[in-house]
């Protein structure tokens, strides 16, 4: 059963059963308590819900403890279709979609709406739709149009799978924000005090940092140097007769000067202080939970982004603050070396597929092609996927190309496409954006001037690196989106009471009662196998997804 739904202010809404799989179309139903209506229909029919945007509807349902199993999200589907057609920057949202459908002027998009408080009510109805379209009619019409269009596209089946996976991801993201990542503020604070000194009054430098700043100044002969100001550091070294191109940590590491050691320590501690210090704790952790705002598909490649909280950059040292509640466990799972395995499956490279049969792909790769040197093997692999050839990468790539011609050929074809300004696609049809007008100008320049030629080649290569990486990164995002959908459904069915609480590119955390930990581990493994089968069919490539129950995220690896 498929039910379209729109929200009103004051907790109300309208819905309508759509004709689907033998079920006839129903009348428009108006309700003053949408959450109750959804809860009731969910329990009786487990329908697919159809709505404009998960983020506009689902947080308020969750706030009323209403969860749904499946939905279709028009905004995500719309973006996937538009970008497939090379129209990445066209406005998104229901208003824009209905305007396109009716041939009306397309209203400008205001970007994703910010949500700065916990949802208690549904958002009041947003701006009026173009042509005074009725919102429920608009949802239904736009959905029908999407179904029509997707059938005409080259990746129809894959895109339908991607629609479902992206919608499930949006549900999972809202639930992650709702349940929150367990975060022990006391553990975090102790770590801050131990490494930085006591919390200073009103944003002053913590004691440890102040001491280091003094040592840095002393090492430069007593002249004030602001360690937070890179150009000042470069100038300070110049006064000492040392030429450095920048104040980056890896550059300073090669310099022999008494200021280097305190500078490097300062950088490390200052980073912790500004990015994840006391003020971060104040703004982002409440009642033992960290609740970041996830942006599903926020990155062109389909990876997630976050708004505020830097949830995808939690430093390793802080992971000890992520602790399961008493009587609960965190099940941590990460896909080992996901991207090279994705490349193996995309390219069907027989020998590379054999290499990916092992749990540690790089060790096997090293034995196969790099005299057992795992470091070189990894470097070569990353260079192939990122486009690097500096330093040792060049010769390593030569070896890789000889041993695994189809795998290397796959990314090089993607790079060539980018250099020529063509689009590339992921396994399920995510599509790279067309290069900018400035890029076309730079590369289309028939001017034979040396500068113009250099600029043109550089722009072309840069875009080639982007598309080279895109095919791998975006296909990995396909796999993880399907994984999230599968895992979410499995947990809902056989490990009720467990929650997905964190997701980061290729790893997930599930918070569950202790006695469910084994079941959750098994479901993680099964979800990984399901994702591999759905995305890559019968590929022999293995995608190991190891799940371990832990008390603290820090114990996961």
Partner DNA sequence: GCCGTGAGCGCC
Partner DNA sequence: AAAGGGCGCTCACGGC
Which tokens in the block code for residue 537? 């069919």
Among 141-149, 348-356, 381-389, 525-533, the segment contacting DNA (CB under 7 A): 381-389
Beta strands in 45-190, from DSSP E residues, in sequence order = 48-51, 70-73, 181-182
Q: Which residue has the tokens 């960290």?
A: 290
Contact 48, 1 (CB under 8 A): yes
Residue 375 in contact with DNA, rule: CB under 7 A: no
- Are 470 and 515 a contacting pair, CB within 8 Å? no
DSSP sequence for 201-249: GGGPPPHHHHHHHHHHHHHTTT----TT-HHHHHHHHHHTT---S---H
User: 48, 143, 267, 427: which one contacts DNA (CB under 7 A)?
Assistant: 267
Q: Does 480 bind DNA (CB under 7 A)?
A: no
Cβ atoms 418, 466 nearer than 8 A? yes
Binding mask 317-356 for DNA (x = CB under 7 A): -----------------x----------------------
Site residues (CB under 7 A) for DNA, limited to 194-233 = 226, 228-233
Judging by DSSP bridges, how do beta strands 2-7 and 48-51 pair with one another? parallel
Q: Which is nearer to DNA, 314 or 482 (CB)?
A: 314
**Tokens 């208690």, located at residue:** 120
**How many other CB atoms are found less than 10 A from the CB of residue 173?**
25
Considering the rule CB under 7 A, would residue 548 count as an interface residue with DNA? no
> 91 CB contacts (<8 Å, ≥6 apart)?
106, 107, 108, 109
Backbone CA torsion sign across 124, 125, 128, 132: negative
Among 242, 295, 442, 526, binds DNA (CB under 7 A): 295
Residue among 310 and 522 whose Cβ is closer to DNA: 310
Contacting range for DNA; rule: CB under 7 A; set: 6-14, 98-106, 248-256, 438-446: 248-256
# residues near DNA by CB under 7 A:
56
Asked whether position 452 contacts DNA by CB under 7 A, the answer is: no
Is residue 303 at the binding interface for DNA, with CB under 7 A as the rule?
Answer: yes
Does the footprint of DNA cover residue 261 (CB under 7 A)? Answer: no
Q: How far is the CB of 49 from DNA (least distance, A)?
A: 27
Is 303 or 323 the residue whose CB approaches DNA more closely? 303
Which of 211, 462, 514, 518 is close enough to bind DNA by CB under 7 A?
A: 462
- Cβ count near 336 (within 10 Å): 18
Tokens of 235: 């100038």
Distance CA 252, CA 139 (A): 57
Task: Write down the least CB distance from residue 295 to DNA, Å.
Answer: 6
Q: How far is the CB of 452 from DNA (least distance, A)?
A: 15
Q: Which of 115, 257, 307, 374 binds DNA (CB under 7 A)?
A: 307
User: Any contact of residue 505 with DNA (CB under 7 A)?
Assistant: yes
Q: Which stretch binds DNA (CB under 7 A): 305-313, 361-369, 514-522, 525-533?
A: 305-313
Dist CA 414 CA 510 (whole Å): 36
**Selected range binding DNA among 11-19, 83-91, 378-386, 544-552, rule: CB under 7 A:** 378-386
Compute CA 400 distance to the chain's CA centroid, rounded to the nearest angstrom.
Answer: 29
Report the distance separating Cα 487 and Cα 531, nearest Å. 9
387 near DNA (CB under 7 A): yes
Of 28 and 274, the one with the shorter C-beta distance to DNA is 274
Give the three-state DSSP class for 250: helix
* Interface ranges with DNA (CB under 7 A): 226, 228-234, 246-250, 267-268, 271, 274-275, 280, 295, 298-301, 303, 305-310, 312-316, 334, 382-383, 386-390, 394, 457, 461-462, 465-466, 469, 473, 504-507
């Amino acid at each position: 059963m498929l039910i379209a739904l729109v929200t009103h202010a004051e907790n109300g809404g309208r819905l309508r059963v759509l004709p689907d799989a033998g079920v006839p179309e129903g009348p428009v139903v108006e309700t003053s308590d949408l959450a109750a209506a959804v809860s009731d229909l969910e329990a009786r029919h487990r329908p697919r819900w159809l709505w404009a945007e998960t983020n506009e509807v689902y947080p308020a349902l969750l706030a009323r403890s209403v969860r749904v199993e499946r939905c279709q999200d028009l905004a995500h589907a719309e973006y996937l279709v538009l970008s497939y057609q090379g129209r990445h920057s066209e406005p998104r949202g229901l208003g824009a979609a209905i305007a396109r459908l009716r041939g009306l002027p397309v209203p400008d998009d205001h970007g994703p709406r910010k949500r700065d408080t916990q949802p208690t009510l549904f958002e009041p109805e947003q701006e009026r739709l173009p042509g005074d379209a009725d919102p429920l009619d608009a949802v239904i019409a736009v959905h029908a149009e999407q179904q029509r269009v997707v059938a005409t596209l080259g990746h129809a089946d894959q895109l339908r799978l991607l629609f479902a996976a992206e919608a499930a991801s949006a549900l999972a993201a809202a639930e992650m924000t709702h349940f929150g990542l367990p975060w022990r503020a006391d553990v975090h604070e102790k770590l801050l005090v131990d490494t930085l000194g006591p919390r200073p009054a009103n944003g002053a430098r913590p004691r440890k940092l102040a001491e280091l700043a003094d040592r840095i100044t002393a090492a430069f002969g007593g002249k004030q140097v602001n360690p937070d100001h890179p150009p000042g550091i470069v100038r300070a070294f110049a006064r000492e007769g040392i030429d450095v191109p920048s104040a980056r940590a890896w550059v300073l590491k090669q310099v022999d000067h008494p200021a280097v050691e305190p500078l490097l320590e300062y950088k490390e501690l200052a980073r912790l202080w500004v990015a994840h210090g006391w003020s971060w704790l104040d703004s982002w952790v409440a009642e033992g939970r960290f609740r970041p705002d996830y942006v599903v598909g926020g990155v062109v490649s389909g990876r997630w982004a976050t708004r505020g909280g830097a949830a995808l950059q939690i430093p390793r040292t802080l992971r000890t603050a992520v602790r399961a509640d008493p009587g609960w466990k965190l099940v941590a799972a990460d896909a080992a070396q996901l991207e090279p395995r994705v490349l193996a499956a995309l390219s069907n490279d027989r020998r590379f597929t054999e290499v990916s049969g092992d749990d540690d792909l790089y060790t096997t790769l090293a034995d196969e092609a790099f005299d057992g040197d795992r470091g070189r093997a990894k470097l070569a692999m990353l260079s192939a996927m990122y486009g690097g050839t500096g330093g040792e990468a060049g010769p390593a790539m030569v070896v890789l190309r000889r041993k695994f011609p189809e795998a290397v050929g796959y990314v090089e074809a993607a790079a060539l496409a980018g250099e020529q300004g063509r689009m590339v696609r992921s396994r399920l049809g995510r599509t790279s954006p067309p290069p900018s007008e400035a890029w076309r100008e730079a590369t289309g320049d028939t001017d034979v001037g040396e500068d113009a030629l250099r600029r043109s080649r550089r722009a072309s290569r840069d875009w080639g690196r982007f598309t080279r990486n895109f095919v791998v990164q975006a296909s990995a995002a396909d796999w993880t989106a399907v994984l999230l959908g599968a895992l979410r459904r499995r947990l809902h069915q056989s490990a009720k009471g467990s929650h997905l609480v964190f997701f980061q590119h290729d790893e997930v955390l599930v918070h569950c009662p202790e006695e469910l930990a084994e079941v959750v581990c098994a479901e993680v493994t099964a979800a990984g196998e399901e994702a591999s089968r759905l995305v890559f069919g019968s590929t022999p490539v293995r995608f190991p997804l190891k799940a371990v129950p832990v008390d603290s995220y820090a114990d996961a690896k």
